[in-house]
Structure 1
Amino acid sequence: MLRPDSFPDHLAERVTDHSATAATTASGQFVIYWMRTAVRAHENPALDVALTAGQRLGLPVFVYHALSEKYPFASDRHHTFILEGARDVEAECAARGIGYAFHLERPGHRGPALRTLAAGAALVVTETLPVAPLDWLTDALAEAVTCPVWSVDTACVVPMPLVGKVYTRAFAFRDATTGIRAARLAAVWTDVATHTPPFVPDALPFEPLRLADADIAALVACCEIDHSVAPVPHTPGGTMAGYARWREFVSTGRLDRYAAKRNDASIDGVSRMSAYFHYGMVSTFRVVRECAARGGDGADKYLDELLVWRELAYAFCYWHDAPDTLGAIPPWARDTLARHESDSRTLHSWETLARSGTGDDLWDATQQSLRVHGELHNNVRMTWGKAIPMWSSNAAAALERLLDLNHRYALDGRDPASFGGLLWCLGQFDRPFTPEVAVFGTVRPRRSDEHRQRMNFSAYRAHVSRSAGLSPRVTVIGAGISGLACARTLHDHGIAVTVLDKSRGVGGRMSTRREGEWQFDHGAPSLRLDDPRQARLAESWRQDAVLHEVNDGEFIGTSGMNALPKHVARDLSVKTSVHVASLARTGSRAGSGWAIVDRDGVEHHADIVLLATPAPQAAVLLSTVEDPLAFAPLLAGVTMLPCWSSMIVFDGPPPTIVSESLIGGALSSDSPLVHRAWRQSARPGRSSDEAWVVHSEGNWSAEHIEKDPAVIAALVSEALRAQLQVAGNIVHTVAHRWRYSRVQAGLDDACLFDETQGIGACGDWGAAGATRRSHQSVERAWLSGIALAGRVLGRVTSRSRPVL
């Protein structure tokens, strides 16, 4: 019988048994330590529990470490930080003689590996992190397998299971746990010795990834995650980086000054260790011992923040059933917020908030710190959080926004301490304040303008506006949706980017054309936003009246399909009517820069050039480069079909009024001339005249691609009139030739990028292989542009490993 309560006290007090019965007979061939949030191989209680269990069972132990594409807010930022941490763990485990296998979920490497492994295990040990999704993933595993599953508190000096209940005030938690804390404060942690040679099962259900020499940026680029949130150059992941930051904080005297300087966000007065604590890359126990040994006001205050406020939040999440809901805040706070729900407020969309567009200069600066640098100074985080209820429809919406923005961008997001701080913004761990104020009622307010007056705002803004280590000049060729998505993402991370396009405006195939009094969406008739990574933007574009939803998940531009590209292009540097003719390297070495020459002979210079034109046009441009590029043959292999788009106006409607569903949907037919048609006069804000856009079939368009547009327009107009049975006259008709309209043969890769040469390409041909054909072309184009931006950001944020 294997029981956690039979283990040494310092381990047993940290174990939560998720198995069906507390005492379980363990059978199996090995013990698995499922590593998640204690990404270290020293002073790690979960690893020590696994090793102790292995000794008692006479079985080998190995560490299974995995990174899923599906965890909430999975992005290049979080993935890179975790992989860098895993690289250090791999080395630590090798040094200690512990078997370690890392599974990175990505194309060709997906599947339920853990459950397969657990079928042969005697015990699975993991960490206790009492917030979604890790808590319910632990329970789900315990329900699905026959071996016992234990979680272990690896984060807190006062073990969460010993706290015993929910505490909602810091002073009460501090007083109740004083004795438990004092007994463990200076305890030296002794790692459990290994008892077998390094072990990894022979038949792993995945190909383990060797991280020591892995190209992390390239691996991250392969994953189907959010590539619009870049790694943070100045905060590398891993044990070595974490302890290096801690030693620098102590050695420069900033720990000693912490009590006096910690609230000044304009200076470097805090440790910036929260991301390393969150992922367990450093030992809380070691940091606490060193603080306690140093003593003084600064160390004492640091310990109070670490051991009381942080552990209060951990214990609260452990003992509360739903710490991520409004049910987690006190009844008095819920009641007062509900009573003020009808109070007047300014509603900002998610995109406005995420991109620092509120007009509140302090708040926008804090969000810039979060978006670019992946962190918020704790004192301004409170002001940042208190503003969001003022800009949200109700408390539930405010909490959702708080969790989304913090967890998406902050490297310490999704941590119980984060939940504690965000819930505090809505009254948790606090008391009522009078007099009542708008929106908050008796929940403590925290005004941005008042905070601004008591800080050196100019110094703070300069600090958060500093470069994150990103300096290249980037030129994007093509102002279609793919190029704009790429440029927008780079711009949001502080990259100097210029967009060049041969047309008079932005949008590419999302253009809207005016013909006198009539308006035609003659390219993409609508767009779908089905990918989960698009959900927040879709909601924002609808709220900001950029898009109008016509069917479930299908949108049109409120003032034409070019409304979206115009919106995305706001505050970007876009130069139109620039027709690029050739590319040339500006130096003899790879990556030395590019000269972009337009048809007027004008040179435009960039360190990195990104092609966001149709693939055949990009291939032609690449052919002008003196030495061939490695990915050029791939791009040349993309084939696209053309489309004749005809714009037609009748002087009267068809005999049967066409359904309003044709606002977004299409009238389809077997006729190659009238392959699909959209009734423009049914769209919001259009002329009441009977106006239509017709797309002819691709192969027919290819056969007639060089015909006179007037001839095509006449043929299609008559074909449409016959099909609709319109008795009246055709009063206007014109045809536009989209030479590259629909991808016939695309690539599985989302984009192409040569990091050594500093050149890449994106478009709707990306992720257009058999596995991703469900994406509509506009969405593919957007995701391809984001992916290419991610490749650039991944390269320019790469860093060498810190040295111990």
Structure 2
Amino acid sequence: MSSINVPEIRLRRLNKHPINTNGDYVLYWMIANRRMDYNFSLQRAVEVCEQLNKPLLVFEALRCGYKWACDRIHQFVLEGMSVNQERFKDSTATYYCYVEPELDHGKGLLEALAKTACAIITDDFPCFFIPKMLRQVAPRLPVVVEAVDSNGLLPMRAAPQIYPTAYAFRRFLHNELPEYLRDKPQANPLAGKKLPNLKNIPSEIRARWKPISAKSLQTTSKILTKLPIDHEVGSVAFEGGAVAAKRALTSFLSKQFDHYIEQRNLPEEEVTSGLSPYLHFGHISAHHIFNQIIKQEEWSVEQVCDQKATGKRAGWWGMSETAEAYLDQLITWRELGYNMCWQREDYDQYESLPDWAQTTLENHARDPREYCYTLEEFEKSKTHDALWNAAQMQLVTEGRMHNYMRMLWGKKIIHWSESPQEALKIMIHLNNKYAVDGRNPNSYSGIFWCLGRYDRAWGPERPIFGKIRYMSSKNTARKFSVDGYLERYGNQKRQNSLFD
């Protein structure tokens, strides 16, 4: 399949099967970019439809057998499905939305849809169960399957190596990113498109795998109670979906943006964008966020074309200090995680840490620990440290954690676990179970940063940590006011004696 609109570097063929020119439709299997806007995958599917003069069937599903499946994650995805169902209703594409009612009920559905498809377009996401699923499923399908990278501003495969630090990756970005900033996805790939109409989905498919109704999606609490998922991890206050994501972006740019530099590390303040969950589930695109920022900054791509690559966090873009600080998080740090995940299958394993980090942690693995907690004690906020307990409580109740507190949270799990390997298991489990933005390359970057990934050796060498960067609740409380944070999440007044 030739490509006109979507850059070839973002396309990856997953099997050797041909196009079925006699098929009834092009199938877009939406698994990670769960949105209509700024979506290279949808754009590619529309492109193939136009080449073949075929209808477009958009298939979005939610299974219940994935690890850490719970009300919290399911509701967020279901809310996004509700928005998609409404948006696709008035388009020339047909939207088929399926929510698995019981374990393995959806087995065979994709294969059934593939039998009458011309080609299958899907999302290229390098994390969690998706890479393995694509490797297993694609060879079994009877038509060509193509995965499209719509994850970030830099195509994942534009980076030829794994970068060990943010500085090294940033220097690479300064050289290479301008070329790709011009290849941005269309705001709405279906706008103005007159694709052929799909008369119907085979009745036997709809009967066996009944699509979920719009009414059901609007009453997600009733759906959740019937599903075989973890009901103890309850839903969160913030809503999922593309509409809520755009609302959060507008609020950030109009209210918090001006205070971002001064207050982003203050636990008591709420000045971060809150967009991480929406990025993770594909409810909003990094391109969309970037476009809104440069519009606000009155900036154009040409302004960076002749800039020298420095690797420095500030000054290269030629934007305001606030914009550059936020873009460093959105592009450098976020896409650094994708850079690791697509190239190393063991990105979530202890052995993927830098050699120096493994060496220093091993040298101190048998150091005595004054406190040593079990997973259950960590999970239930039953440590001696009130500030750590408050951070864990925020994670459990709100499905998110203040960015600075997340770093402290991870460092202390290392401090109070039997071994660094055990600490890693605990961090991954708690983060993936409770954080709405968990199970993402960026969240794995944050967890592994606590153990030395993307960092350097620090002195003085300390017990347990060795040369790994050290953090403590006591120092955090010295640097920032935490009384309000403790009052909100700790259910107890600050007690200095409880800090480590």
Larger-gyration structure (1/2): 1
Corresponding residue number in structure 1 for 2:432: 407
Equivalent residue number for residue 13 of structure 1: 9
Do structure 1's residue 304 and structure 2's residue 328 form an aligned pair?
yes
In structure 1, the residue corresponding to 2:400 is in which secondary structure? coil
| Distance in structure 2 (CA, Å) of the matches to 1:225 and 1:451 | 37
1:196 equivalent in alignment to 2:193: no
Of stretches 378-387 and 109-118 in structure 1, the one that deviates more from structure 2 is 109-118
User: What is the alpha-carbon distance in structure 1 between the residues aligned to residue 412 and residue 259 of structure 2?
Assistant: 29
Give the residue type in structure 2 aligned to 1:260: E
Q: Which letter does structure 1 place at the counterpart of 2:445?
A: G
Are 2:389 and 2:490, in contact at CA under 8 Å, matched by a contact in 1?
Answer: no
Judge conservation of contact 2:38–2:189 (CA < 8 Å) in 1: no
Q: Which residue is equivalent to 1:114?
A: 110
The residue type paired with residue 422 of structure 2 is A
Taking the aligned partners of 2:111 and 2:341, their CA distance within structure 1 comes to 26
What's the CA shift string for 1:319-350, capped at 9, x where partnerless? 12311101221111111111211111232111
Cα offsets for 1:254-280 (capped at 9, x unmatched): 212212221112111111111011111
Equivalents in 1 of 2:230, 2:88: separation in Å?
30
Shift of the 328–20 alpha-carbon distance from structure 1 to 2, 3 Å rule, reads farther
Query: Larger % of helix: which?
Result: 2
2:451 corresponding residue in structure 1: 426
Give the drift of 1:425: 0.8
In structure 2, what residue type is equivalent to 1:243? K
Distance, in Å, in 2 between the alignment partners of 1:88 and 1:79 is 14
- Counterpart position of 1:221: 225
Q: Which letter maps to 1:349?
A: T
Alignment-derived partner of residue 414 in structure 2: 389
1:226 maps to a residue whose letter is D
Supply the RMSD in Å over aligned alpha carbons: 1.9
Give the C-alpha shift of residue 407 in structure 1.
Answer: 0.7
Q: Could you tell me how far 1:110 is from its partner in structure 2?
A: 4.2
**Equivalent position amino acid for 2:346 in 1:** A
CA contact (8 A) 2:61 2:98 kept: yes
Distance 1:284 1:414 in 2: 18
8 A Cα contact 2:81 2:241, kept in partner: yes
- Using structure 2 for the length normalisation, give the TM-score: 0.87
State the Cα deviation string for residues 664-720 of structure 1 (Å, max 9, x = none).
Answer: xxxxxxxxxxxxxxxxxxxxxxxxxxxxxxxxxxxxxxxxxxxxxxxxxxxxxxxxx
Aligned residues of 2:55 and 2:196 also touching (Cα < 8 A)? yes
1:291 to 283, 290, 293: 293
Whole-angstrom CA distance in 1 between matches of 2:221 and 2:7: 37
Give the deviation of 1:437 after TM superposition: 1.1
Contact in 2 for aligned 1:118/1:145 (Cα 8 Å) = yes
Report the counterpart of residue 768 of structure 1 in structure 2. Answer: none
1:90, CA displacement in angstroms?
Answer: 0.8
The answer to whether the Cα contact below 8 Å between 1:354 and 1:405 also exists between their aligned partners in 2 is yes
Change (3 A) 1:10 1:350: same
What's the counterpart of residue 237 of structure 1?
240
Q: Look up the match of 1:256.
A: 258
Q: 1:161 aligns with which of 154, 157, 162?
A: 157
Secondary structure at 2:257 match in 1: coil
1:323 is aligned to 2:347: yes
The answer as to whether partners of 1:427 and 1:444 remain within 8 angstroms in 2 is yes
Taking structure 1 as reference, are residues 290 and 110 closer, same or farther at Cα in structure 2, changes over 3 Å only? closer
Give the direction of change, closer, same or farther, for the CA distance of 1:107–1:130 in structure 2 (3 Å limit). Answer: closer
Task: Tell me, in whole angstroms, the C-alpha distance in 2 between the residues paired with 1:10 and 1:145.
Answer: 23
CA distance in 2 between counterparts of 1:374 and 1:84 reads 16
Contact kept in structure 2, 1:98 and 1:199, CA below 8 Å: no
> 2:82 pairs with 68, 78, 87, which one?
87
Corresponding residue of 2:463? 438
Q: Tell me, what secondary structure is at the counterpart of 1:388?
A: helix
* Counterpart-to-counterpart distance in 2, 1:107 and 1:68: 8
Give the Cα separation in 2 of the matches to 1:461 and 1:9: 51
Determine which structure has the larger strand proportion and give its number.
1
Q: Does 1:332 pair with 2:356?
A: yes
Structure 1 distance, partners of 2:421, 2:221, is: 37
Determine the C-alpha separation between the residues in 1 that align with 2:399 and 2:223. 21
Q: TM-score, normalised by structure 1?
A: 0.55
1:137 aligns with 2:133: yes
- In structure 2, the CA distance between the partners of 1:186 and 1:15, relative to structure 1 (3 Å rule), is closer
The SS at the match of 2:118 is: strand
Name the stretch that deviates more: 401-410 or 45-54. Answer: 45-54
Structure 2's unaligned 5+ residue stretches are 298-319, 492-500
Give the 3 Å change call, closer, same or farther, for CA 432–287 of structure 1 in structure 2: same
Q: Give the letter for the 1:312 counterpart.
A: L
Determine the structure 1 residue equivalent to 2:498. Answer: none
1:464 is matched with 489
Residues in 1 aligned to 2:35 and 2:25: alpha-carbon distance in whole angstroms: 21
- Measure, in 2, the Cα distance between the counterparts of 1:42 and 1:142: 26
Is 1:68 aligned to residue 63 of structure 2?
A: yes
Tell whether the 8 Å contact from 1:90 to 1:212 is kept in structure 2 after alignment.
no
Deviation of 1:9 after TM superposition, in Å, equals: 5.7
User: Given residue 270 of structure 2, which amino acid in structure 1 is its aligned partner?
Assistant: D
Q: Quote the Cα distance in structure 2 between the aligned partners of 1:75 and 1:20.
A: 36
Cα shift at 1:63: 1.0
Q: Distance in 1 between matches of 2:281 and 2:5?
A: 25
- CA offset at residue 198 of structure 1? 5.0
Q: Which protein has greater RCO, CA pairs closer than 8 Å, 6+ apart?
A: 2
